[in-house]
Chains A and B, each alone.
Chain A
Amino acid sequence: MKRTVRKDFRPQTRESSRQEPDLSFDDYEPEKTEKKIGSALFFGLLFGLLAAFFVFIYAPDLRDALFRLAPRENFVRVDASADMQLYEKELAKAARTVQAKQKKIAALIPREPWLVIDTSGNQIFLMQDDQLLHKGVCSTGSYVLLRASRNKQWIFRTPRGQFRVLNKMRKPVWYMPDWAFVEEGRPIPPRDSPLRYESGVLGDYALALGDGYLIHGTLYKRFLGMPVTHGCVRLGDEDLEVVAKNMNTGSKVFIY
Chain B
Amino acid sequence: MNLLPFFKNRLPAQLVFIFAFVLPVLIVAVPLVILPVQKVVDSTSLRMRNMRAAAGGSGGAAPTREMAEQMDALRLEETYANLLLDLAKKDSVMLAINLRDSLVNLLIKGVPVRKCRVSSFRMSQAIPHVARLDSLHTWLYPPFQLLSESATIPKAPIRIMDAPKDTIEAEAMAGQEIPIENNDVHFTLEFNRNLTVRIEQEQPPSSSSEFKKKFAFDMERIFAEARTTIRNLKRKNLPDHKLWIEVVVSREDAKAIYRAIPTRLQMALFLPDAD
- A residues with CB within 8 A of B: 20-21, 33, 36-37, 39-45, 47-49, 51-52, 55-60, 62-68, 70-84, 87-88, 90-91, 94-95, 97-98, 101-102, 104-105, 108-110, 114, 116, 118-121, 130, 142-148, 155, 157, 160-162, 182-186, 223, 226-228, 252, 254, 256
A101 touches B78 (CB 8 A): yes
Instruction: Give the docked Cα–Cα distance between A72 and B75 (Å).
Output: 21
Give the Cβ gap from A148 to chain B, nearest Cβ, in Å.
Answer: 4
Across-interface contacts of A62 in B (CB, < 8 A): 29, 33
Task: Give chain B interface residues in 61-106, CB to chain A under 8 Å.
Answer: 61-65, 67-72, 74-75, 77-78, 81-82, 84-85, 88, 91-93, 106
A40 touches B20 (CB 8 A): yes
B78 touches A70 (CB 8 A): no
A77 touches B74 (CB 8 A): no
Give the Cβ gap from A146 to chain B, nearest Cβ, in Å.
Answer: 5
Across-interface contacts of A109 in B (CB, < 8 A): 111-112
Known: A56-B226, A91-B74. A160 touches B260 (CB 8 A): yes
Across-interface contacts of A116 in B (CB, < 8 A): 113-114
Please tell me which one of the listed residues A63, A142, A226 contacts residue B36 in the complex, with CB atoms under 8 A apart.
A63
B67 touches A56 (CB 8 A): no
B272 at the interface (CB under 8 A from A): no
Task: Give chain B interface residues in 34-84, CB to chain A under 8 Å.
Answer: 34, 36-37, 40-41, 44-45, 48, 51-52, 54-65, 67-72, 74-75, 77-78, 81-82, 84
Instruction: Give the docked Cα–Cα distance between A184 and B110 (Å).
Output: 42
B239 at the interface (CB under 8 A from A): yes
Across-interface contacts of B14 in A (CB, < 8 A): 40
B165 at the interface (CB under 8 A from A): yes
Q: Which listed segment binds A: B120-128, B142-150, B204-212?
A: B120-128
B28 at the interface (CB under 8 A from A): yes
B255 touches A75 (CB 8 A): no
We find that the number of chain B residues with CB closer than 8 angstroms to chain A is 107
Give the Cβ gap from B155 to chain A, nearest Cβ, in Å.
Answer: 10
Please tell me which one of the listed residues B16, B56, B85, B252 contacts residue A80 in the complex, with CB atoms under 8 A apart.
B56
Across-interface contacts of B273 in A (CB, < 8 A): none
Instruction: Give the docked Cα–Cα distance between A66 and B207 (Å).
Output: 35
A56 touches B13 (CB 8 A): no
Across-interface contacts of B56 in A (CB, < 8 A): 80
B27 touches A52 (CB 8 A): yes
Residue of chain A at shortest CB distance from B133: A75
Please tell me which one of the listed residues A40, A74, A162 contacts residue B16 in the complex, with CB atoms under 8 A apart.
A40
Closest 7 CB pairs of A and B: A44-B20, A81-B57, A80-B57, A67-B125, A101-B81, A185-B170, A108-B110
19 further contact pairs, Cβ within 8 A, besides A59-B28, A145-B160: A33-B12, A36-B13, A44-B18, A48-B21, A48-B23, A51-B25, A60-B225, A60-B241, A66-B33, A72-B129, A76-B65, A78-B68, A79-B57, A108-B111, A109-B112, A120-B259, A121-B252, A143-B157, A144-B158
